[in-house]
Amino acid sequence: MRKNALALFMILNSPTLFSQDKGVHFRDDISWEEVKKIAKEENKNIFVDLYATWCIPCKQMDKKTYVNDTLGSYMNSRFISIKLQIDTGKNDNKNTQKMYSTAADMVAKYRIQIVPSYLFFDSNGTLIHRALGFMTTDSLISICKVSENPNQNYAGLLDRFHTGRLRGTELLNFAIQLKLYRQDSMSKEVALVYKQLYIDKVPPEEIINVELLPMIDNFKILFETRDPLVKYIYNHESSVDKTLNRESYSTHLLDYIITKDIITPSIIEVKRKNKDPLWKFLQKEIATQWDQKIAQRVILDSKIKWYTDKQDWNNVIKYQIEKYDNDTSKPSQMEALVRNNFVWYVVLKYSSDKKTLEKARAYMESITNSYPNIHELSDTYANVIYKLGDTASAIDIEKKALLIAESIKNKEAIDLYRENIQKMKKNIPTWE
């Protein structure tokens, strides 16, 4: 009698049973083949939640979304639902372990890089829709409804594209959706059709507006130097930036496209032949087609990348300093942090040249004055001064970095800066 009572207690307190009675019912006791078999028998589709044990949004789905009775009633009547764990752990139960290979197969086949990810299949195991990220009850129900609509779901959109029935913004939205799902080649194929139909055939002045940004931002690789739109942007940089409300947008876009179409092919060729790029020839070619200012800018950036890949730090420093000296504008906070990283990871580590260090000191003094509350900047500034031999000033500035770190309770930085101060007092290098 006691054994029966104990068994009844365990059944009533089973987490699996509880999840069946409230919210979405996830099956964790059957294989993928059994899932498809049951789906056919019950005339249902299949819902798969791919999650990871470290994923906070995944835990929130369990705690806030899947427990909803309205969602459970909707999904349980339409789907056979399972959860697949994409990571592994020593505490995983046997049912989870049995599905490791199924989870791994789906991660590889559908290029899952974000969790939670949701895959919808028909009863044959054919993918019909997909989504990702935390969802509320209402948003998940909406996604489920889309998955059942052959005109709106993933499979339906793919079919409409291949049969030439996907048009307008639906094309672009589908391309962006495919890119989000890491279907890179397919997303480019769809985006290229959109570009050919709605950009290449339209006078540039008619399409320069903020609605163009999603296409360019997601698929700028598809734009070429010969495109009428690119030529128009080159001839109207200021007005385009103003219309798009993006400062220096045209400059960055043109630099990218010109580098991609002219410099990159040449770089690939010389790498194949184990030679150095013909920088002067490339600069002359770009200056002829565009202008000298663009040519100097893109060649300089390409040199920095080339020598960084080669780990030729002397040339990296030489051309990076040339780039900074050519730029007289005040750097943004992000640009200031980029300069800081250059000084810390390249100049301090690889150069003892006094002129170079003086340049670095000037950069750090300027951006530290512009952004005095960023402790990383003060720390790098202190280390440059220390390497130049002014230990007393270096310690004073490092103490300022320490105070900022203490004010925001950044323990890692606090420990590092305290250690640096002691090294400076003992004349020990801080950059090694």
Q: Is the CATH number of domain 329-432 1.25.40?
A: yes
Task: Determine the pLDDT at residue 432.
Answer: 84
Three-state DSSP at 423 gives: helix
**pLDDT mean by block of 10 residues, the chain; 432 residues:** 44 40 90 97 98 97 97 97 96 94 96 96 97 97 97 96 96 96 96 97 95 96 97 97 95 98 96 94 97 97 97 97 92 96 97 97 96 97 98 97 97 97 96 87
- Dist CA 66 CA 25 (whole Å): 9
Q: Rounded distance, CA 412 to CA 394, Å?
A: 20
**CA–CA distances in Å: residue 251 to residues 266, 322, 383, 401, 404:** 22, 19, 34, 35, 36
Question: Strand order of the sheet with strand 127-132?
Answer: 79-85, 45-51, 117-121, 127-132
Alpha-carbon span 56 to 32, nearest angstrom: 26
Exposure string (b/e) for 107-121, b if CB count within 10 Å is 16 or more? beebebeebbbbbbb
For residue 128, the surrounding DSSP H or E stretch is strand 127-132
User: What angle, 0 to 180 degrees and rounded to 10, lies between the N-to-C axes of helices 354-370 and 375-387?
Assistant: 160
- CATH topology assigned to domain 15-149: Glutaredoxin (3.40.30)
Q: For residue 22, what pLDDT is reported?
A: 83
pLDDT score at 11? 40
Cβ atoms of 370 and 334 within 8 Å: the answer is no
Q: How far is CA 225 from CA 166, 202, 220, 305, in A?
A: 28, 17, 11, 21
Annotated domain spans of the chain = 15-149, 329-432
